[in-house]
Structure 1
């Protein structure tokens, strides 16, 4: 008997549903034993209607599945962060998805903004701690809305959280791991990160290691991203630096990501680009970030050959210029997805 695994799909907001369609087409074309449970009702429309971001029933469907493919979350009608946190943070904290894995690979040299051809072929990963840091929601304020307002957000780091994200970074490294922090200016958290780093380096003596402060790391990435293999850092710096690596690899429309719990094996896979309300409904959104996120998903489930086939199909479509306008093509979202399908069928 074949094991059929369920993938929950949350199209979400803005361009999310537009890019999830082609990604699902690619997953179906792979012919794997997967079924898809599409949760259409998780979106800003419902939140605006009744205040529900991710209901208990929605969360239960996600938790009972093998993995989740997510489109995007966010809506310009919402000024507060309650909706986005209600979906993203609930998934990350409720499922303990502590490892955010953001690979950046240059699919064609014409997409790089760097002038020096020798320094263009970026192929690295930003490993971002995903459940602590400034995004943990610890803080408060006084005199809100007045000239005397004071706001406080706490940057949370724990030995357990820092140790496990650094160990995860070593587990996915091919050449080396670079710790990025700002211990020179943030003494308490910096001291903890440095201690956990020394302990991890001792556990992985055969892996090349380095350390950079966050500002220097941004500079080095812009100068020569090819020197990096895996960057491990906290929630905030990882969010920022992965946007930089995405730009160096051709743009945010190409950038996949995965939020993982290596212990349970569960993951949420989503393109990095967000809901992009400025282009929603225009049919021009780039589906490749979602398709590459789907490739990460099937690879995570043990289908490495199929994931490789998807990536080769993406590379071929990009090389042929059969893409959306953001990376130099003239195709719409659906047509760009069809171009990948055509390359996949020709394998």
Structure 2
């Protein structure tokens, strides 16, 4: 394997100079000609950075592995939430590319045989796990990575998006558009139970931000245990309030679908009478009437990265790693930005379809 010292000798510079060039040090003062010579020499000698060498080694480790994919939703529940379909497809496509075997386990009732996990090289757990389920996963997994979830502590690798930050940016954006009656519908996080029904991250952030802005109205924040009809029922109840919201933020796009139905049944128009914004950007969001404004979360990339983290562990990494992906708000017809707001280049930039705020 070629070394930095050999590249330095071939070009006639110091090893430190080669290292700084290959690591794109912007403070290095060196001629363009010399910089190009270093890069071309490194390419000609097939030099690989330590990071690329580690990635290649991790990919080699993945060949022939058995990886257990543990899902907190059963197949029917997953089909009802395309976001988690995307996470799973990311895991499966990455494993397929690595020629690794995937064994699916659905942790939706009584735990399956622990030997399934114990016989796998590692486990990628999709979704949220608490209490006995979390301890069961930890007890029977050789290596454990969480996709779309980060349990308390720093024992395992995790990959997810920061939906709290995304909610803050969404609220700031619609506030800048002039909205003040901002409603929210979501679900109750089962881990915290009936004594803390507003613990889900998007809900908690909504309450905190609206309270600081002096806009929080408990009548405009409604949650319930998640069911397929939650979006419809909660939106229907909120629209029956004496002073309903002018914009409704839903916890995910599935709830937005139900909210659309409730709004249409009430005889209201989107966005003229009430605007709607949501989270996940599932495929159907852009085909609704009108198309849905939503926070795009990179579901498949989360799944792919979870597999990569597992391979890094199998390659010898000992320190837990947490990967947090950015999000972007995709503005579509359900939440039109007023012209005076849309022209603020420092807040909102033009993109297709509609407008986007980078994550």
TM-score by length of 1: 0.29
For CA contacts below 8 A with separation 6 or more, give which structure has more relative contact order.
1
Max radius of gyration: which structure? 2
Q: TM-score, normalised by structure 2?
A: 0.28
